[in-house]
């Protein structure tokens, strides 16, 4: 998996002090569906937005949003699945880490906004897999607190967009099952006004939820791979592992024949294909390993990350103090020079008067 090289200037907003009485709404969906853009419509401080299918949200970010009437809501911007740089298991771990921490602190979501690009020509295999994983992450009961919202209407022709919207709502492998369990469908096509309708809908319901993955990992102490969401992901990973193992066996047989016939050109092609399948197999095996994580490990990860952020914050503070002291010293030198120049000028004027 290619590692992302994060910008050294990216600033992640610090986690606000949340209480069980706060209104907390999570925003989820695959990479590039507009989650961060949605959050920034109301955010008290803007987050960096990715371009195209490149995600800028590398960890869960809780963003305070103050509305015109003074109401405060916390929107949770989550990293998207199907990311260019990170595997789905890494993303699931990241989301589960925050959800489990919230559950242990008695924080409950007022709802979840699941965003989907209406501009996509079709929802492919990875999209279907992620919808299934999202359903398992929530569980049937909490689906009534989910808003399914389509984005990017301006990037599709009206007729095509309406057809895709029907498909999303009617196909069992897409949204139909979630709608049957109470999920509500919205169009997010009018910027802030349509986004506000979605948030007000969830606020008006006043029905905080506990997701299945929170119950499974915190209350039942299951490992991530044994949860509904982890199991859904593991199932697709196992399918890929079996596929790559089968292809490698077939290639090995073809290579034996190519070597026996001294066919250099075929051998080189087969060896290149073999390496590609071996790399793919290794990635999926690592994916499965990433899912073998317990709730205790996730909490330990949270603690470690918090300690690292504390050290970083302390270093930044010391750096700022040093810069401030250097600036004060610079100003002192300038003022001292100006005073000396004025003093010399005054003495020169006095000498002229005496003469």
Q: Which residues share a beta bridge with 187?
A: 150
In a domain, 150, yes or no: yes
Same domain for 241 and 189: no
Which residue range forms the structural domain that includes residue 74? 23-223
In a domain, 95, yes or no: yes
Same domain for 216 and 253: no
pTM for the complete prediction? Answer: 0.74
Rounded to whole angstroms, the Cα distance separating 187 from 116 reads 10
Q: Strands 61-66, 23-28: parallel, antiparallel or unpaired by DSSP?
A: unpaired
In a domain, 6, yes or no: no
Last-in-domain residue among 235, 264, 291: 291
Same domain for 159 and 194: yes
In a domain, 86, yes or no: yes
Rounded to whole angstroms, the Cα distance separating 83 from 98 reads 18
Same domain for 126 and 253: no
Asked whether the beta carbons of 42 and 93 are under 8 A apart, the reply is no
Phi, psi of 292, rounded to the nearest 5 degrees = -80, 70
3-class SS of residue 16: coil
Same domain for 260 and 120: no
Same domain for 212 and 81: yes
Asked whether the beta carbons of 144 and 67 are under 8 A apart, the reply is no
In a domain, 34, yes or no: yes
Q: Report which of 234, 242, 236, 230 is spatially closest to residue 288, judged by C-alpha positions.
A: 234
Torsion of CA 167, 171, 177, 180, to 10 degrees: 60
Last-in-domain residue among 223, 239, 272: 223
Same domain for 256 and 164: no
- Helix-helix angle 125-138:228-260, to 10 degrees: 150
If one counts every other C-beta atom within 10 angstroms of the C-beta of residue 253, the result is 11
Same domain for 104 and 135: yes
Asked whether the beta carbons of 87 and 130 are under 8 A apart, the reply is no
3-state helix, strand, coil in the chain (%, to 5): 60, 10, 30
3-class SS of residue 38: helix
Rounded to whole angstroms, the Cα distance separating 219 from 226 reads 13
Last-in-domain residue among 291, 323, 347: 291
Would you write out the chain's pLDDT as a tens digit for each of its 355 residues? 444 444 333 343 445 688 999 999 999 999 889 999 999 999 998 877 755 545 555 688 999 999 988 899 999 999 988 887 888 888 999 899 899 989 999 999 999 999 999 998 888 777 888 899 999 999 999 999 999 999 999 999 999 999 999 999 999 999 999 999 999 999 999 999 999 999 999 999 888 999 999 999 999 999 999 999 999 999 888 988 999 999 999 988 888 888 888 778 888 888 898 899 899 899 888 888 888 876 566 667 656 665 665 565 566 666 767 776 777 778 777 767 766 666 566 655 555 555 5
> Would you state the structure tokens that stand for residue 280, as one six-digit string?
């793919």
In a domain, 331, yes or no: no
Q: Which residue, chain included where needed, has tokens 């050294």?
A: 8
If one counts every other C-beta atom within 10 angstroms of the C-beta of residue 12, the result is 14
Phi, psi of 151, rounded to the nearest 5 degrees = -120, 175
Q: Strands 61-66, 184-187: parallel, antiparallel or unpaired by DSSP?
A: unpaired
Q: Cβ-count burial of 121 within 10 angstroms (0-12 exposed, 13-18 middle, 19+ buried)?
A: exposed
Same domain for 242 and 115: no
pLDDT in tens, 26-40: 999 998 899 999 999
Which pLDDT value is given to residue 289? 84
Which H helix or E strand runs over 74?
A: strand 72-77
Asked whether the beta carbons of 55 and 5 are under 8 A apart, the reply is no
Supply the CATH number for residue 69's domain: 3.40.50.300
If one counts every other C-beta atom within 10 angstroms of the C-beta of residue 141, the result is 13
Whole-number Cα distances in Å, 121 to 16, 147, 164, 275: 39, 22, 8, 33
Same domain for 101 and 165: yes
Which pLDDT value is given to residue 245? 92
Establish how many alpha carbons lie within 13 A of residue 115's alpha carbon, considering only the half-sphere containing its beta carbon: 31
In a domain, 346, yes or no: no
Q: Could you say which DSSP state residue 62 is in?
A: E
Residue partners of 218: CB distance under 8 A and separation at least 6: 100, 103, 104, 295
Same domain for 125 and 46: yes
Q: Cβ-count burial of 189 within 10 angstroms (0-12 exposed, 13-18 middle, 19+ buried)?
A: middle
Which pLDDT value is given to residue 231? 92
What percent of the chain has a predicted confidence (pLDDT) above 90? 47
In a domain, 338, yes or no: no
Domain count, the chain: 2
Same domain for 158 and 120: yes
């Amino acid at each position: 998996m290619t590692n992302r090289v994060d910008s050294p200037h990216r600033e992640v907003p610090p986690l606000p002090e949340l209480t069980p009485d706060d209104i907390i709404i999570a925003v989820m969906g695959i990479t590039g569906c507009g989650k961060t853009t949605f959050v920034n419509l109301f955010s008290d401080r803007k987050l960096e937005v990715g371009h195209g299918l490149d995600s800028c949200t590398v960890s869960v970010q809780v963003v305070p949003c103050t509305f015109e009437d003074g109401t405060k809501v916390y929107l949770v911007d989550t990293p998207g699945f199907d990311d260019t740089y990170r595997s789905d298991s890494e993303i699931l771990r990241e989301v589960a880490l925050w959800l489990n921490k919230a559950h242990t602190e008695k924080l409950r979501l007022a709802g979840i906004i699941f965003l989907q690009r209406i501009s996509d020509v079709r929802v492919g295999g990875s999209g279907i897999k992620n919808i299934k994983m999202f359903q398992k992450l929530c569980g049937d009961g909490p689906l009534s607190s989910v808003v399914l919202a389509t984005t990017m209407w301006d990037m599709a022709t009206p007729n095509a967009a309406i057809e895709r919207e029907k498909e999303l709502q009617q196909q069992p492998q897409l949204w139909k099952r979630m709608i049957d369990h109470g999920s509500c469908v919205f169009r997010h096509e009018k910027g802030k006004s349509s986004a506000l309708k979605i948030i007000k809908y969830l606020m008006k319901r006043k029905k905080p939820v506990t997701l299945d993955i929170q119950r499974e990992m915190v209350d039942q102490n299951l490992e991530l791979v044994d949860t509904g969401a982890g199991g859904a992901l593991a199932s697709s990973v196992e399918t890929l592992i079996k596929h790559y193992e089968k292809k490698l066996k077939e290639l090995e047989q073809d290579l034996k024949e190519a070597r026996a016939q001294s066919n250099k050109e075929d051998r080189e092609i087969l060896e290149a294909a073999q390496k590609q399948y071996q790399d793919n197999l290794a990635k999926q095996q690592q994916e499965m390993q990433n899912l073998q994580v317990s709730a205790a490990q996730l909490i330990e990860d949270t603690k470690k990350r918090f300690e690292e952020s504390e050290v970083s914050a302390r270093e930044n503070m010391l750096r700022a103090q040093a810069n401030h002291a250097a600036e004060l010293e610079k100003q002192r030198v300038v003022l001292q020079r100006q005073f000396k120049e004025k003093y010399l000028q005054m003495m020169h004027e006095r000498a002229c008067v005496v003469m």
